Amino acid sequence: MDITIDKFTPCLEETATGQLVPTIYKKASKAELESLSGWNFNWLADDLESAEIYKLCAVGDDTAQGLVAVTDFPRDMAVYVNIAESAPHNLGQGRKYSGVGGHLFAIAAQISWDKGYGGFLFLDAKNTELVEHYKRTLGAVLLGRPHPYRMFVDEKHAIELLNTYTFEEE
């Protein structure tokens, strides 16, 4: 996992104007994933075969502002966040929207909630800097096993995410 949480906003924030833009999320189709260009991750990789991939969109615009892949672990009553990524146009100084990263984790928490897991989720951070970042921004806790940077977000912090972000499933 290599995504940062740049800003907590109830909706996406258009960086040029500061305007809040309402959001929706929905499953990304294979055709959409095949047509991605400029993204850092291969969203069709074999290790995502059992994951469900969701895209975050601004209402009225079907363009993916970010993607999140989640895998259901019913035995553990948790959702694993395989990967989350902001769209290339939402990175760096000239990004179109702020707030994408937090939205993607909120979507994962919503999926966990809908499955009856109370929003509980887990993930593997890429490095120690991101471990510290996810502790600060998501309230995530480091487990350190079976992956050295394995973390979880408990129900309390998942509910905080769900109370911060507003989005609809389409």
For 152, list phi and psi in degrees, rounded to 5. Answer: -135, 155
Q: 111 — alpha (psi -120 to 50), left (phi > 0) or beta?
A: alpha
What pLDDT does residue 5 have? 54
Q: Specify the pTM.
A: 0.91
> How do residues 100-145 score in pLDDT, each as one tens digit?
988 999 999 999 999 999 999 999 998 899 899 889 888 999 998 8
User: Could you say which architecture CATH assigns to the domain 12-169?
Assistant: 3-Layer(aba) Sandwich (3.40)
- How many whole angstroms separate alpha carbon 36 and alpha carbon 119? 29
Where exactly are the structural domains of the chain? Answer: 12-169
What pLDDT does 110 receive? 95
In angstroms, rounded to a whole number, what is the distance separating the alpha carbons of residues 114 and 120?
A: 11
Element (H or E) spanning 32, and its range?
helix 30-34
Least confident of 6-20, 21-35, 106-120: 6-20
> What pLDDT does 119 receive?
95
Give tens-digit pLDDT for 147-159. 889 999 999 999 9
Q: How far is CA 65 from the centre of its chain?
A: 11
Sign, CA dihedral 112-117-118-123, equals: negative
Asked if residue 64 has pLDDT above 80, the reply is yes
- Residue 78 banded pLDDT, cuts 50, 70, 90: very high
